[in-house]
Chains A and B, each alone.
Chain A
Amino acid sequence: MTTKLFGEPVHRREDARLVAGNGRYLDDLGADALAVAFVRSPHAHARITGIDVDDAIDVEGLVAIYTWEDLPEGVREPLPLLIPHPALTHGRTAYCLAKDVVRHVGEPIVMVVAADRYIAEDVCERIQVSYEFLKPVVGLENAVEGPNLVHDDVPGNIGAHMVQEVAHRDGRATREVIAAAPHTLEFRLDIERSACMPMEGRGVYARWDADDRSLRVYSSTQTSTSVRMAVAAKLGLPLPKVEVIAPDVGGGFGVKIVHPWPEEILVPWAARLLNREVKWTEDRREHFISSAHERAQVQHVKVGFDDEGRVLGLDVEILHDHGAYTPYGIIVPIITSTQLLGPYKIGSYRVEFFSVYTNTVQVTPYRGAGRPQGVFCMERTMDKIAQYLGKDRTDVRAANFIQPDEFPYDQQMIFQDGRPLIYDSGDYPESLRKLKDLIGWDDFPAMQAEARKEGRRLGIGVGCYVEGTGVGPYEGGHVQVTSDGRVHVSTGLTSQGQGHETVFAQIAATELGVPIEKVSVVTGDTRRFGYAVGTFASRAAVMSGNAIALACRKVKEKALRIAADALEADPADLEITDGMVHVVGAPSASIPLATVAVLSNPLRYAFDEEAKRATQFATGGSMDRPPVAEGQEPGLEGKDYYSPVRSTFASGMHAAIVETDPDTAEIKILRYAVVHDCGKMINPMLVEGQIHGGVAQGVGGALYEKMAYDEYGQLLNASFMDFLMPYVTEIPKIETDHLETPSPLNPLGIKGAGEAGVIPVSAVIAGAVEDAEKIVVDKMPISPSDLYALRDSSRTSGAVSLLRNTQ
């Protein structure tokens, strides 16, 4: 079939628009809209004692100033806690505008609407807010130990506490197993904060149509359907009177799945109140201090293992910093806890986490969403076991792998979707074999020794992960073939650069047998598809891809039935090639899909030549049957949903060779290799692009990025000048190889790929630096200064720091 495009590196259909400067991102819309700016708290923890706007009200171009007092019922209540969980006993969310107390620098207090952003910021500067200072809580251990509270009614600053345990198969508890194990190790790991940092920040633009009593909202979001429901509920509008559209979105990486943001409620509310178009575009500093961060955890690990390095018992205690509020629940530490297990069979496992409030920006998922921390923990553990036993690090991993004949493999835990953590498929030994080949693992010791002779320090690291992707509950797809032969595909979830217009068109073209040029795809527009969950958790291709395939199959079945009538053939003998329905093996007995679309809709009125064929005196057929048969609908279209029983589990393994400078402690990645398994690939070019981008973010997290909060809760590096995101000069060439173990859980056999690249990078780099320096690396990111200090401290402590010697 010439139209089979599934699996091909098809060039992106988005690009002609985007490279020409014709993208339409949030701030490109609403040229005449009023602009919004916010007065945000400069203090991490304070009680608001007064707001004085006297100096501000005379600024020319000012339209409105709002504080919490001005907000009506619905808008003045705390924002929703999106994902409640029984363990989240003390969940707290913010107000759209602060009421009484501010709990992090950047919390919005006053909303200003003005003719343009310059004027709105002028007004903000003239508004005086007075504060009574409260003691800020900064740093995980300070939060747990200290007497100061982020929320008065949350004792010990503990928002959630959760313990999960998978006992040994002989019934013994994990701690018992570890106590009795031949070898044990105990250590602490630290991971710093980072953040998504999409190049386009958040933004909202709203138009109220006073004649129609309806609201249209554009938001730079990862979930337009959920924003729509939240806006309708908060503003008390009937759902059909609210439409939400995600236009071109300049990156998301997780932060834009949070909703409704205060601005997503306030901007539409003001637009309706003022009966004017209103727009807010986040600036970079706002994004640093007013959106969300992730990653920060402290982990205490105990592990018991045998002579082969098999893990008999693993006991992990996690302190997770969730910042000032918990709108996204405890999804991140739950993912850390469960995905920590990776591709391994762990004899017994106990994981306990405390999710902790601090006076810092809230923590919600960032690409990887808790997995990088879990993988850091497990892979550091594997490296330490290997070090202790004097074994090759890959041998220890291999000794613990789940084997290919053991799928489905039940880890006996509950995953982030509330469903069992059962791995569906994979081949971990083969992935490791490919990775070792790709990086030249077995040849490395010779290379390292050779470099040593020249005074160069090289090290190699490895990291393995399993990633639950394609979480439910569902996505849908709608496919319509119109009488011009065009195929219109829509799905509710949104796009932030993944190339959905391309991959979904590939799926539709392949399923329907039409040229891809005939297919158009719309995502994230509630006018076209109202039911959806959103784009996160590497789920879009799995969820909407399968839903669209299923919808196409419905359309195809109907097309073949109608064509069979017209061609006087059996539908089973028909197929569609290049947009023509024809008898298999007899291409001359054919009818264009466009004509089938015409015939599918019995007409009274002809609007063009083609349409005449479907009018009432033109069609033949039985006079005993209604024109639209019972159970049928007019038109050649279909809708279907894909709702998986549980997630599908992608996997991968990375390795890196680094060089550390003996004098400056600079760390350079010489090679980076990735073996990746996301099941059947729809478009290998785009999968590789996802991996490249993920690894780059991982490198940022491993070597450069952290949120530098001082003791007062001030974020000292809230700009691109100071928060070090990697440029091209920091990212190594990434070498990739693929394995395709199809998922048995969905019709297309696919698994998600979006987050994979970022997940194991910190673990890999830590292992490689450790190998180069022979110094234990338990804290990431690691800067040259950190490494320099680590060298100093390990020298002065007299320990060569090889774990074996410290036992």
Chain B
Amino acid sequence: MHEVTLIVNGVPRQARVPARRLLSDFLRHDLGLTGTHVGCEHGVCGACTVLLDGQPVRACLTFAVSVTGQEVTTVEGLAKDGELSPVQRAFAECHGLQCGFCTPGFLTTVTAFLRENPAPADDEAIEAVAGNLCRCTGYQNIVKSVHRAAELMAEEGP
């Protein structure tokens, strides 16, 4: 068993886990943060995407022990002071989700993307979400959500 200490959504967290514990399982089962979902367990679908020191990673391809001392943001950490983030609001407003299972991975991915590219062109918005699978929406409203989130962020400032 190994001690894992890290910052999750701004809060220091600690747990003792086996070396083989995946970060996705660690977040969900050891820390009780079930917002991060697991769709394929081999890094293809992107549902488990979390931000590791601000960069999107597949939590299902990451060992919990390998991120000790780092900062993780999950979907639960996107809202600030109880208010949904612009990306979260944009997805709701544009009907960018249906069953919602893949959504946390899109939200984290788009959050990181818009930090680097706050005013994406259409092909850039498409490229940004091209590593995440959704079986419900047909993606059209997800791309719309990316643009809407960029708009909201521009309106509201940093």
The number of A-B residue pairs with CB atoms under 8 Å apart is 170
- B98 contacts the other chain (Cβ, under 8 Å)? yes
Q: Would A18 and B97 count as touching, CB distance under 8 A? A: yes
Q: Which residues of B (52-102) have their CB < 8 Å from a CB of A? A: 74-76, 78-79, 84, 88-89, 91-93, 95, 97-102
Q: Would B41 and A284 count as touching, CB distance under 8 A? A: yes
**What's the least CB distance linking A296 to chain B, in Å?**
20
Cα separation A24 to B101 with both chains bound (whole Å): 10
- B14 contacts the other chain (Cβ, under 8 Å)? no
Contacts A118-B18, A250-B37, A689-B98 given: A199-B91 contact, CB under 8 Å? Answer: no
Q: Which residues of B contact A497 (CB under 8 A)?
A: 97-101, 136
Cα separation A296 to B55 with both chains bound (whole Å): 42
Bits for A390-411, please: 1 = Cβ < 8 Å to B, else 0.
Answer: 0000000000000000000000
Q: Would A727 and B130 count as touching, CB distance under 8 A? A: yes
Q: Which residues of A contact B89 (CB under 8 A)?
A: 19
Contacts A21-B35, A22-B35, A284-B39 given: A693-B130 contact, CB under 8 Å? Answer: no
- A306 contacts the other chain (Cβ, under 8 Å)? no
Q: Which residues of B contact A24 (CB under 8 A)?
A: 34
Number of interface residues of A (CB under 8 A): 55
Q: Which residues of B contact A354 (CB under 8 A)?
A: none
Cα separation A50 to B56 with both chains bound (whole Å): 47
Q: Would A728 and B130 count as touching, CB distance under 8 A? A: yes
Q: Which residues of B (1-59) have their CB < 8 Å from a CB of A? A: 18, 20-21, 28-29, 32-42, 44-45, 47
The stretch from A131-139, A729-737, A774-782 touching chain B is A729-737
Partner of B103, one of A19, A198, A719: A19
- A743 contacts the other chain (Cβ, under 8 Å)? no
Q: Which residues of A contact B45 (CB under 8 A)?
A: 199, 720
- A23 contacts the other chain (Cβ, under 8 Å)? yes
What residue of chain B has the Cβ atom nearest to residue A18's Cβ? Answer: B100
Cα separation A24 to B34 with both chains bound (whole Å): 8
Q: Is the interface of A mostly helix, strand, loop or mixed?
A: loop
The stretch from A7-15, A224-232, A454-462, A514-522 touching chain B is A7-15
Cα separation A322 to B7 with both chains bound (whole Å): 51
- A20 contacts the other chain (Cβ, under 8 Å)? yes
Q: Which residues of A contact B143 (CB under 8 A)?
A: 728
Q: Which residues of A contact B132 (CB under 8 A)?
A: 727-728
Contacts A689-B137, A696-B139, A720-B40 given: A19-B126 contact, CB under 8 Å? Answer: no
Cα separation A720 to B47 with both chains bound (whole Å): 12
**What's the least CB distance linking A610 to chain B, in Å?**
30
Q: Would A251 and B139 count as touching, CB distance under 8 A? A: no
Partner of B138, one of A249, A251, A696, A721: A696
- B150 contacts the other chain (Cβ, under 8 Å)? no
Q: Which residues of A contact B18 (CB under 8 A)?
A: 118
Partner of A16, one of B42, B47, B92, B98: B92
What residue of chain B has the Cβ atom nearest to residue A700's Cβ? Answer: B135
**What's the least CB distance linking B1 to chain A, in Å?**
13
Bits for B123-155, please: 1 = Cβ < 8 Å to A, else 0.
Answer: 000110111111111111111000000000000
**What's the least CB distance linking B101 to chain A, in Å?**
3
- A38 contacts the other chain (Cβ, under 8 Å)? no
**What's the least CB distance linking B99 to chain A, in Å?**
3
**What's the least CB distance linking A694 to chain B, in Å?**
8
- A315 contacts the other chain (Cβ, under 8 Å)? no
Q: Which residues of B contact A253 (CB under 8 A)?
A: 135
- A27 contacts the other chain (Cβ, under 8 Å)? yes
What residue of chain A has the Cβ atom nearest to residue B33's Cβ? Answer: A21
Q: Would B84 and A199 count as touching, CB distance under 8 A? A: no
Q: Would B99 and A198 count as touching, CB distance under 8 A? A: yes
What residue of chain B has the Cβ atom nearest to residue A248's Cβ? Answer: B100
Contacts A25-B37, A720-B40 given: A250-B100 contact, CB under 8 Å? Answer: yes
Q: Would A689 and B135 count as touching, CB distance under 8 A? A: no
Q: Which residues of A contact B32 (CB under 8 A)?
A: 31
Q: Which residues of A contact B41 (CB under 8 A)?
A: 283-284
Bits for A283-308, please: 1 = Cβ < 8 Å to B, else 0.
Answer: 11000000000000000000000000
Cα separation A685 to B144 with both chains bound (whole Å): 13
Q: Would A692 and B138 count as touching, CB distance under 8 A? A: yes
Cα separation A497 to B37 with both chains bound (whole Å): 16
Cα separation A674 to B76 with both chains bound (whole Å): 37
Bits for A705-720, please: 1 = Cβ < 8 Å to B, else 0.
Answer: 0000000000000011
Contacts A283-B41, A719-B40, A720-B45 given: A198-B92 contact, CB under 8 Å? Answer: no
Cα separation A15 to B140 with both chains bound (whole Å): 17
Q: Which residues of B contact A693 (CB under 8 A)?
A: 98, 135-138
- A154 contacts the other chain (Cβ, under 8 Å)? no
Contacts beyond the supplied A19-B75, A118-B18, A694-B138: 15 A-B pairs with Cβ under 8 Å: A11-B93, A18-B97, A19-B88, A19-B91, A31-B32, A199-B101, A200-B37, A250-B100, A498-B98, A692-B137, A693-B136, A725-B133, A727-B133, A728-B132, A731-B139
18 residue pairs bridging A and B, Cβ less than 8 Å apart? A11-B95, A19-B103, A19-B107, A23-B101, A31-B32, A251-B101, A284-B41, A284-B42, A497-B97, A686-B95, A692-B139, A693-B135, A693-B137, A696-B139, A697-B135, A727-B130, A728-B142, A731-B140
- Interface of A toward B, CB cutoff 8 Å: 11-12, 14-16, 18-25, 27-28, 31, 116, 118, 197-200, 248-251, 253, 283-284, 496-499, 685-686, 688-689, 691-697, 719-721, 725, 727-729, 731, 733-734, 757
- Interface of B toward A, CB cutoff 8 Å: 18, 20-21, 28-29, 32-42, 44-45, 47, 74-76, 78-79, 84, 88-89, 91-93, 95, 97-104, 107, 126-127, 129-143
